[in-house]
Amino acid sequence: MTRTLTFVLLTASVCLAQDHGQGPRTSVEPVNPFTGQKQAIDAGERRFKQSCAACHGPEAEGGRGPNLAENPDLQTMSDGQLFHTIQQGIPGTAMPPSNLPDNDTWEVAAFLRSLNDPISENPVAGDPEAGRKLYYGAAHCSDCHAIRGQGGFLGSDLSNIGARMTAKQLRQAIINPDASPHIGFEPVSVTRKDGMEFKGVARNNSNYSIQIIDTKGHLHMFDKSDLKQIVFDDKSFMPDNYRQTLGPDGINNIMAFLAQQVARPGTKRPRPGQANK
Amino acid sequence: MMRAGFLLLLAANCAFAQIQYSDILKSPAENWLTYHGDYSGQRHSPLTQINRDTVRNLVPKWTYHFGGAARLESTPVVADGVMYVTNTNEVDAIDARTGRQIWSYTDDRARRSDVNRGVAILGNAVFFVTADGYLVSLNRTTGGILWHKQYADVKKGYYATLAPLALKDRILLGVSGGDSGMRGFVAAYSPSTGEELWKFYTVPLKGEPGAETWGEFDPQWGGGATWMTGTYDPELNITYWMTGNPWPDYYGGGRRGANLYTDSVVALDADTGKLKWYFQFTPHDTHDWDAESIPVLVDALYRGKPRKLLIDANRNGFLYVLDRVTGQYLEGHPFVKLLSWATGIDASGHPIEVRDMEPTAAGRVVCPSSRGATNWMSPSWDPVNKLLFVPALEQCDQYVSSMRTPEPMHGSMAGGGGPVNGQTGKFYLRALDPFTGATRWEYGMTGLADMWAGSVTSAGGLVFFGDDQGQLVALNTATGADLWHYNTGQLLTASPMTYSVRGKQFVAIASATDVFAFGLFEPAKPSTTPKELRIGGSSITAHDRGRPSAGRAGKPSTTQEPAGKNTPGIQN
C-alpha cells in the first residue's frame, strides 16, 4: 500500500505479456562482456536505432514490438537468453533474426540492459560531488528526502535509490514528479473534530483510518470518525520545475550523486544463470 | 565519524521520541519492546483487561497480510501504538490498533532467504538482521535506512535469523549456521554505527580454555550457533545466551570430548562480553539438541532463601534450575515421558547417560526426537502460580549417522533423525513446577507435530499459545481450564504477545503469512466519514511544509504524548 514511489513506477511499467522466446539454457551461462560500459552501450544504441527501433521504438519504448525498457520479462532473462533472442529472433512471432555479429549483439544487449538495470549499474554523465552539494544545498532535495538518516521525511527515503530506479525512471521522478501517484507521500491536511489541524503526508489511508507523518516528523494514526475534514493535495511537495531551475547539468549531477546511493555498495541485481554473489 | 556526529546532533532535538534503555526495563506493559517482551524471558505481561472473565469476548480486530510470506517466525514488537514485524529480509511497521501499514522495508539484495524472528528498538531506530548476516538500522517512523553493516559472513558458514537485543547503548547479536559448520559467537555492536564493541566465540581456539574438549577438531567449524535472542539481568549486568549443537550434528567421532561451549548457556558480562560462567546441558551431543530454548530469569524464594534463578526447559528433555549469579546447578527433572538417553541429572548437573545412544549407520531409536522435547518456541512464566508453560513434544526418532566428518558449509550433518515407523509425535502445553519437576496440568494437542509456536502469560491469569492445528488458545494459568480459541487456518511458527493502545488490550500472533490481532468485543458503531476534499496544489503551502527547515529542524519520530486536546503527538 505504501511502498515507495519506486515501486509505483516499476509496477506502472509492466506493459507487455508477449512470449519473448527464451533461448536454450547452457550449463555455463555466457556473460555479456559489455554490461555497464558506456562506449558499448552507445554503440549498441546506434545499432538498435538502425535495426530494432522500427518495431520497438527509437527509445525502445515499444511500438509494433513490445517496450524493452523497464521490462520485467527482459530483466529475468539471462545474458545468454537475451543474446540468443536478439540474434536468432523468436520463431513464430514477428521478431525476426537480426543476424548481427556476436560483438554487435552483445552491444545491443548492453544497451537494453542499461534501460532495465538500476542506475547504480550504469554509467552516468554528471558529477556526483556537484550533485551532492545541490542535493543538500540549493536544490533542497534533503529537505524532504533522507539518505542514511540525513535529510527530511516528507519524501521517500533515497538511501537505496541507486539500486531501485533506472536512469530514465529517476530522471522522470525529478523533472516530472506529478506524473505518478505519490502513494505513501500524498500531502494531506486533517482537522480533528476538536478543531486541531495536522498537516503532512499520508503514509496510508482507508475509509476508516489514516496514518500521517506531520511536517514536524511526528506520526499520527487517526480514526476517520474522529476527524471533521481531510484535504488531499494532488500536487506533491516535490517541486515540478527542476528542469528549469537546475538545468540539464544540474539534473545530471544530482542523478550521478543519487546513482551512488546503494544500501549495499558494490552489489548488483542478481541475474538468472549467474551466482548472486 | 562525521555521520555519527550529525546523528547525535539530530537525535538531541527529539529526545522525547526515543525508546531508551530505561523504557525497555519497564517493558512489557502497553509496549512490548523486545522479542521476549522484556529482558527476563518470562513473557509475562501485567495487562489485565483480557482476563479469565473477559476472554470469552475476545474477537479478531484485524489481520495484516505479508505478501509472499510462507513462514513468519516473528514476535511482534510494539512501541507507542506501532507494531514492527519481520519476514525474511523485511520489516513492516503497522498501526497496532488498525493493522494498517505505515512503512515496509525490504532488502532485495540479500543472498539468503531464511526466516526472521523480529526486531529490536533503541532510540528512534529499528534494528533487524538480514538472512545473509547484515545488521540494518532503520528510522522507526519512516522506515528509511540509517545504516547497513555486515556482521557475519556467509562465506564462513554464517546466516542470521534472530531478533537483535538492544541493551544499554549496544545491540547484541548471535548467528545461525551450526548445522553445516561455523564458529558461533555473541557480539555487541554500536547502535549508531554498527561498529563491533565486543565478541565472544562459543567454540574456543586451540590453547584457549575449553579447547581440550574438542580433540583435534578444527574450531572454525565447531558450531555452537546462537540463533535465539538472549536474556539479561540488569542488576548483575550479565546477559545469558543459549548455544547450539556441535558440528557435525550426528557424528561425534571427530570431536572427542564435551565440545564446549556447545549446547550450553553462557553468562557474559554485558559490557565486555567476558565469560562469567557457563553450564553445558548436553556434553558431546550427537542428536542435534541445540540448547536454544529460552533461559528464563526468575527471582524466587528457593528452599527458603531469595535467589536469582535461571530456568530452562531444554531440548534434551530435562528442565533445569540454575543459580544465575554463579551458574551453580540446583536441580533438574525430566519434563517428557519419552526420554531414553539419560536416566537423570547428577548432583553436579551432568546427565546420567545411558550407554550406546549414539546414532549408528543402521539407525538407533532414541528419545527425545531431533526436534527435541521442546525447541525455540517461547515458554512463558506465571509469577503467581510459579509455573513455566512449555510446549513439550513426546516423540522418539530413529537416529542415523554416516560415521564420518563431512565437508563444512555443504549442509551436511553426518546423519539425521526421523520418525520411527512414521510415528509423528504429540505436542502438549505443560504447566511445569520447576522446583519439583511436577506437571501441574497439561493440554494435549491434536495434529502432526508440525507447529513451532510459543506462549505468553498475563496478569489476567491467562496463558495464550499456538496449538498444533493453527489455533491460538487461551487457558486458565492455575487450572489449565480451556477458555478460548481461534482458528487462524494456518500453521503457527511464532510466539504470541500482548500490548495495549489507547486503553485497549490486544493479543497478537504471527501465523505463516499474516499477523492476527485480537481484542475484546465492542458493538460496531456507524462510521461517520469526515468531509474529504481533493485539491491541486494550493492547500498546503511551502510555509506549512516549513521548507526549507521542515526536514532539518525536526526529525521523524513516533511519540507517545498525552492524547489531550490540542496536543500534537501520536494519536492512538
Among A226, A157, A153, A142, which Cα is nearest to A190's?
A: A226
CB contact under 8 A, B95 and A215: no
Distance CA A246, CA A254 (A): 9
The predicted-structure confidence for A34-52, as pLDDT tens digits, reads as follows 999 999 999 999 999 999 9
Among B233, B287, B301, which Cα is nearest to B265's?
A: B233
The CA distances from residue B107 to A186, B57, B75, B90, B274, in Å, are 24, 40, 20, 6, 33
CA within 13 Å, CB half, A62: 12
Instruction: List residues of B with catalytic annotation.
Output: 290
Delineate the domains of chain B, giving CATH numbers in brackets: 18-522 (2.140.10.10)
| pLDDT value of residue B412 | 86
Chain A closest-CA separation from residue B531 CA (Å): 5
- CB contact at 8 A, B315 and B228: no
Hey, what's the torsion of the CAs at B55, B57, B58, B61, to 10 degrees? -160
Phi-psi label, residue B116: left if phi above 0, alpha if psi -120 to 50, beta otherwise: beta
- CB contact at 8 A, B33 and B482: no
CB contact under 8 A, B3 and A207: no
CB contact under 8 A, B535 and A231: yes
* Interface predicted TM-score of the whole assembly (ipTM), two decimals: 0.88
Given CB atoms, is B308 within the 8 Å cutoff of chain A?
Answer: no
- Residue B72 per-residue DSSP state: -
- Which amino acid is present at B488? T
Chain A closest-CA separation from residue B103 CA (Å): 6
Instruction: Return phi, psi of residue B10, to 5°.
Output: -65, -40
CB contact under 8 A, B570 and A144: no
Q: Searching chain A, which residue's CA lies closest to the CA of residue B526?
A: A225
Distance CA B115, CA B556 (A): 29
Grid cell at residue A120: 547504480
Among B390, B376, B328, B18, which Cα is nearest to B174's?
A: B376
Among B380, B468, B470, which Cα is nearest to B430's?
A: B380
- CB contact at 8 A, B430 and B390: yes
Sign, CA torsion B431/B434/B438/B444 = positive
Q: Which of A206, A211, A221 to mutate to test the interface with B (most CBs of B within 10 A)?
A: A221
Q: Which of A219, A229, A268 to mutate to test the interface with B (most CBs of B within 10 A)?
A: A219
Whole-angstrom Cα Rg for chain A: 22
In sequence order, the β-bridge partners of residue A57 are: none
Instruction: Return phi, psi of residue B88, to 5°.
Output: -55, 120
pLDDT digits (tens), chain B, 572 positions: 333 333 333 333 333 368 999 999 999 999 999 999 999 999 999 999 999 999 999 999 999 999 999 999 999 999 999 999 999 999 999 999 999 999 999 998 999 999 999 999 999 999 999 999 999 999 999 999 999 999 999 999 999 999 999 999 999 999 999 999 999 999 999 999 999 999 999 999 999 999 999 999 999 999 999 999 999 999 999 999 999 999 999 999 999 999 999 999 999 999 999 999 999 999 999 999 999 999 999 999 999 999 999 999 999 999 999 999 999 999 999 999 999 999 999 999 999 999 999 999 999 999 999 999 999 999 999 999 999 999 999 999 999 998 777 889 888 888 999 999 888 899 999 999 999 999 999 999 999 999 999 999 999 999 999 999 999 999 999 999 999 999 999 999 999 999 999 999 999 999 999 999 999 999 998 888 899 998 876 555 444 444 433 333 345 555 443 333 333 333 33
Delineate the domains of chain A, giving CATH numbers in brackets: 14-117 (1.10.760.10), 128-179+238-259 (1.10.760.10), 186-232 (2.30.30.100)
User: What is the full DSSP assignment across B274-317?
Assistant: -EEEEEESSTT--S-----S--EEEEEEETTEEEEEEEEE-TTS
Nearest to B554 among A216, A224, A227 (CB): A216
Q: Which of B10, B109, B525 to mutate to test the interface with A (most CBs of A within 10 A)?
A: B109
Among B527, B141, B212, which Cα is nearest to A214's?
A: B141
- CB contact at 8 A, B375 and B294: no
